Amino acid sequence: MNPAIEIRGLTKRFGALTALTDVDLEIPQGEFFALLGPNGAGKTTLISILAGLARADVGSARIMGHDVVSHYRQARAALGVVPQELVFDPFFTVRETLRIQSGYFGLRNNDRWIEEILARLDLTAKADSNMRALSGGMKRRVLVGQALVHRPPVIILDEPTAGVDVELRQTLWEFIRQLNADGHTIVLTTHYLEEAETLCQRVGMLKQGRLVALDSTRELLMRFSGVRLRLRLSDGELPEALKPLVTSASPAGEWLLGLRDHAQVEDVLAQIRRSGRHVVAMEVTEADLEEVFVAIMQGN
């Protein structure tokens, strides 16, 4: 079975700026994948190359086995992209927009699926409104609809929830999750790391055009973080032996320790007891993807 996305040695330059450097990435069919990185890391450039909106200087990219340059028609037919920019054609209504997009993909009688898309994205009431009359969130939904008109096996969403209210975010994720459950491969870029953490099986992180991390979400969380222990003690002072674990301390006498795992909590408490102090307040939290992200981007 061909991978949904296969990227080999991809390099892209814009004049003096190198946007991507030798990126290799393979995403198997059916995966829910997050592509993360700060602004300017190369996420959108990578997506543009996959979508045929930009051309790589070196390397190749395939969608479902079709090269994005030499077999661009098959590659594009297998791909649905939700662009980051909120773009629309002011001449048309929502339904016209979706019908026209179907036509570009060679589909004539697609109304049944279009109606379903409209319903799933809560757009039915707006189907005959002109695009200009829609709010930003509504326009974003139409963009998602346009990416789905041809039921592509691979769907890329470039920050689909930027500037979208909480309610829509949830409806949107429910729909996308359903598509993933139906076998569609989903690639997502987002600034909301908790979205990536809850939705995605695997995460790739880009930094200055290089892929600096690529692993399952669970592995990344384990490898880079472990457990955070927040403590306040009876006399405010921490035993000397625990000082190396401190990641931060507040003037109010609150200590934050970074631990390998939950088992280490027991050792810490034992040390505190031995020093004759006792715990006034305590909180154990697991690190989230945001901390992993920050750690990787800072080069640790």
Partner 1 sequence: MTGFLTLLYKELLRFWKVVFQTVAAPILTALLYLLIFSHVLEDRVQVYPRVSYSAFLIPGLAMMSLLQNAFANSSSSLIQSKITGNIVFVLLSPVSHFEFFLAYVAAAAVRGVIVGTGVLLATAAFISLPIHNLLWILLFAVLGSAILGVLGIVAGIWADKFDQLAAFQNFAIVPMTFLSGVFYSIHSLPPFWQQISHLNPFFYMIDGFRYGFFGVSDVSPLLSLGIVAGALLALSFATLSLIRRGYKLRA
What Rg value do the Cα atoms of the chain yield, rounded?
24
Closer residue to partner 1, CB minimum distance, 139 or 277: 139
- Which residue in the set 8, 29, 105, 253 belongs to the binding site for partner 1 (CB under 8 A)? 105
- Which residue in the set 9, 14, 58, 234 belongs to the binding site for partner 1 (CB under 8 A)? 14
Binding-site string for partner 1 from residue 67 to residue 86, where x marks contact by CB under 8 A and - marks none:
-----xxx-xx-x-x-x-x-
Q: How many residues does the chain have?
A: 300
Q: Is 133 in the site for partner 1 (CB under 8 A)?
A: no
- Contact call for residues 206 and 46 (beta carbons, < 8 A): yes
Binding-site string for partner 1 from residue 205 to residue 224, where x marks contact by CB under 8 A and - marks none:
--------------------
Closer residue to partner 1, CB minimum distance, 90 or 244: 90
- Which residue in the set 15, 90, 183, 276 belongs to the binding site for partner 1 (CB under 8 A)? 90
Closer residue to partner 1, CB minimum distance, 92 or 192: 92
Binding-site string for partner 1 from residue 142 to residue 161, where x marks contact by CB under 8 A and - marks none:
----x---------------
Closer residue to partner 1, CB minimum distance, 87 or 281: 87
Residue 299 CB, shortest distance to partner 1, in Å, is 29
Residue 51 CB, shortest distance to partner 1, in Å, is 6
User: Which residues are CB-neighbours of 283 under 8 A, at least 6 positions away?
Assistant: 229, 230
- Contact call for residues 175 and 168 (beta carbons, < 8 A): no
Q: Is 294 in the site for partner 1 (CB under 8 A)?
A: no
- Tokens for 240, please give them: 């000397």
Residue 181 CB, shortest distance to partner 1, in Å, is 25
Binding-site string for partner 1 from residue 108 to residue 127, where x marks contact by CB under 8 A and - marks none:
x-------------------
DSSP secondary structure, the chain, as one string: ---SEEEEEEEEEETTEEEEEEEEEEE-TT-EEEEE--TTSSHHHHHHHHHTSS--SEEEEEETTEETTTTHHHHHHTEEEE-SS----TTSBHHHHHHHHHHHTT-SS-HHHHHHHHHHTT-GGGTTSBGGGS-HHHHHHHHHHHHHTT--SEEEEESTTTT--HHHHHHHHHHHHHHHHTT-EEEEE-S-HHHHHHH-SEEEEEETTEEEEEEEHHHHHHHHT-EEEEEEETTSPPPGGGGGGEEEE-TTSEEEEEESSTHHHHHHHHHHHHTT--EEEEEEEE--HHHHHHHHHTT-
Closer residue to partner 1, CB minimum distance, 76 or 202: 76
* Binders in 238-267 for partner 1, by CB under 8 A: none
Binding-site string for partner 1 from residue 44 to residue 63, where x marks contact by CB under 8 A and - marks none:
----x--xxxxx--------
Residue ranges that bind partner 1, judged by CB under 8 A: 14, 48, 51-55, 72-74, 76-77, 79, 81, 83, 85, 87-92, 96, 100-108, 146
